[in-house]
A and B are shown apart, each in its own frame.
Chain A
């Protein structure tokens, strides 16, 4: 079945440290892949998306993600985390005219 997996439910990082959130996908062909962010009490906001082409994708708020076909991964990164980045992050995938599938989310805590 087509799916995305976020293996980390909760991650804590110090402000200013680098961040990597993991996402693995399971699709027959190269899927469309997304990262969304959800601040407390808010809806989801698109951070970035990958359709094809350059495997390193730049998004908003200083985030980037790299598509690695060999590892079936689409990890989200940020070189220096700010306290305002504390939120829940969702990886999502779609392909073959199927609906978008969301991962269960990774909750990011940022400590001073």
Chain B
């Protein structure tokens, strides 16, 4: 049982490039989330999904896109990378929304230069 896995662990992008951050969970959780973590700012919700085919915006969605074709996978897409997207990105999952208990992946550290 691997829990929530994220790839890659580190990535450096040039301004304007695009990339996809991968997130997979093997706990059969319906709810999945993408956060970004910036120093002194805590975690900010980017997008979330309540099940396959259903996604919604969080607090800071601009510059990002998501899809959820399966229960297991929830990739995050950056289309035109900007320096403001330099951050650590965490994927999380939750079995039911009313428990609010989330299981986090190890994170992806992204630098845009």
Contacts and interface: CB of A to CB of B under 8 A. Distances in A.
Interface stretch (B39-47, B63-71, B79-87): B39-47
B58 A99 contact: yes
Interface residues of B, number: 20
Interface residues of A, number: 20
Contacts of A94: 100
A44 B98 CA distance: 19
B48 interface: yes
Contacts of B105: 43
B43 A42 contact: no
Contact of B42 (A32, A99, A105): A105
Given A42-B107, A43-B107, A44-B90, A104 B101 contact: no
B106 A43 contact: yes
A86 to B, nearest CB: 17
B97 interface: yes
Contact of A43 (B97, B101, B104): B104
Given A43-B90, A97-B97, A104 B106 contact: no
A100 interface: yes
Contacts of B98: 97
24 contacts: A9-B40, A34-B101, A36-B104, A41-B107, A42-B107, A43-B90, A44-B90, A44-B102, A44-B104, A45-B104, A46-B101, A46-B102, A46-B103, A90-B42, A90-B43, A94-B100, A97-B97, A99-B45, A99-B48, A100-B45, A100-B100, A100-B102, A104-B40, A105-B40
